[in-house]
Amino acid sequence: MKLRIPLARPEITDGDRMAVLAVLNSEQLSTGPQVEKFEHALSAYVGVRFAVAVNSGTSALHLAAQTLRLPRGSEVILPSFAFAAPLNVILQCGLRPVFVDIDQDTLNATAEQIEAAITPRTSAIVAIHNFGRSLDMPAVCTIAKRHNLRVIEDACEAMGSEIDGNKAGTFGDVSVLAFYPNKQITTGEGGVILTDNLETANHARRLRNQGRDPALDWWQQVEAGYSYRLSDINCALGVSQLQRIESVIERRLRLANLYNDKLKAIPEIFRPRLLSPLGRISWFCYVIRLREAFGRKHRDELCQKLLARGIGAGRYFAPLHRQPILAGAGKELALPVTDFVADRVIALPFFNQMEDAEVCEVADALKASVASLRRNT
């Protein structure tokens, strides 16, 4: 069923189309000038020395782990309430995931939870900014330094978020962003590795292109690499979109404020906090949470009621420690906030070109659906 108000919708302008068409009319669709242009624009915006564009945020995470040369079998700490990509990368690299719980207000892990999970076998921390709300990176980095650990900063949902005036993506030994169509800006598919370390950047460049060393002949392969390149078509779109990132962040903040105002009369839900003591939030999506009296069944029922009205709605996230790929290894793990929140979170429609009237329509539909649920509970 085609939704009148989808959960997400990419914003593609005439300028974006012209930028892509210019590449299509050229003779170089890949490994061309737009890749370098996008990388320079990203590094300048975020505030790091090097950016290495790749074909997805997951590929960026994979190369981030590879460049850090983490010992196989060592432990990597991450929140269970997160997208699947970090877990996939950890397993693919022969590492052991160690899951931590989250704070029920920020929906992020905390520095204290991360430090409590450190063992002599720990080699790294994957620090994830859920929904664009920043994790306390200065605290996490202090802990990592004290225990001699590496930090992969997963800022895939937080482009433009700030922590003490610095952009998310500037704190990790290596950091990543993603540009899937539901993100603040999109390249269709794409991601980037961010670092201040030249050796790390060069290693990532080799790995993304079949292990070739740019300083040698095209056919000289110096290590086992991957086909993780991002085309000039994607990068041209990224260059165009990046030019308006600040207005995108401002618009999304306005939408979040409007949602919070329109939903304040529904006692059955928790609304996200609009401010963070750490700095600016770059809103990736707008997520509400049902209160204690409601559970997974009610969440699913509400989503179905909204979908029946032509309005997108969905859950975020399924706990990683309970994924079938782990064959029950996390079955006995006590992560009560993760389990509680995962059963009650609902993502509402949220995208750059969303109209105020659409926010009001979603809010009214949610109010009516909750009222119906209240009568039947």
62 contacts 193 by C-beta, under 8 angstroms: no
The predicted structure's pLDDT at residue 1:
64
The predicted structure's pLDDT at residue 300:
95
Q: 266 Cβ partners below 8 Å, 6+ apart?
A: 366, 367, 370
The predicted structure's pLDDT at residue 214:
79
pLDDT per residue, tens digit, the chain (377 aa), is 689 999 999 999 999 999 999 999 998 999 999 999 999 999 999 999 999 999 999 999 999 999 999 999 999 999 999 999 999 999 999 999 999 999 999 999 999 999 999 999 999 999 999 999 999 999 999 999 999 999 999 999 999 999 999 999 999 999 999 999 999 999 999 999 999 999 999 999 999 999 998 788 778 889 999 999 999 999 999 999 999 999 999 999 999 999 999 999 999 999 999 999 999 999 999 999 999 989 999 999 999 999 999 999 998 999 999 999 998 777 778 999 999 999 999 999 999 999 999 999 999 999 999 998 887 76
Report the first-to-last Cα separation within the chain, whole angstroms. Answer: 28
Residue 92 carries which DSSP code?
Answer: H
Compute the distance between CA of residue 136 and CA of residue 29 in angstroms, rounded to an integer.
40
The predicted structure's pLDDT at residue 202:
96
The predicted structure's pLDDT at residue 344:
97
Note the Cα 137 to chain centre separation in Å: 15
Q: Where in the chain is the domain with CATH 3.40.640.10?
A: 14-242
The predicted structure's pLDDT at residue 219:
82
Q: Answer whether CATH 3.30.70.20 is correct for domain 245-375.
A: no
Closest among 283, 271, 270, 345 to 315, alpha carbons compared:
345
Compute the distance between CA of residue 23 and CA of residue 124 in angstroms, rounded to an integer.
40
Q: Where in the chain is the domain with CATH 3.90.1150.10?
A: 245-375
Please report the DSSP string for 2-65 in residue order: --SB-S------HHHHHHHHHHHTSS-SSSSHHHHHHHHHHHHHHT-SEEEEES-HHHHHHHHH
The predicted structure's pLDDT at residue 122:
98
Phi, psi (degrees; rounded to nearest 5) at 122: -75, 135
The predicted structure's pLDDT at residue 226:
97
Note the Cα 129 to chain centre separation in Å: 7
Helix extents (H) in the chain: 14-24, 33-46, 57-67, 85-92, 111-116, 137-146, 198-208, 232-242, 245-262, 296-308, 336-342, 356-375
The predicted structure's pLDDT at residue 335:
96
Catalytic residue among 167, 183, 262, 305: 183
152 contacts 175 by C-beta, under 8 angstroms: yes
297 in catalytic set: no
What is the architecture of the domain spanning 14-242?
A: 3-Layer(aba) Sandwich (3.40)
The predicted structure's pLDDT at residue 16:
98
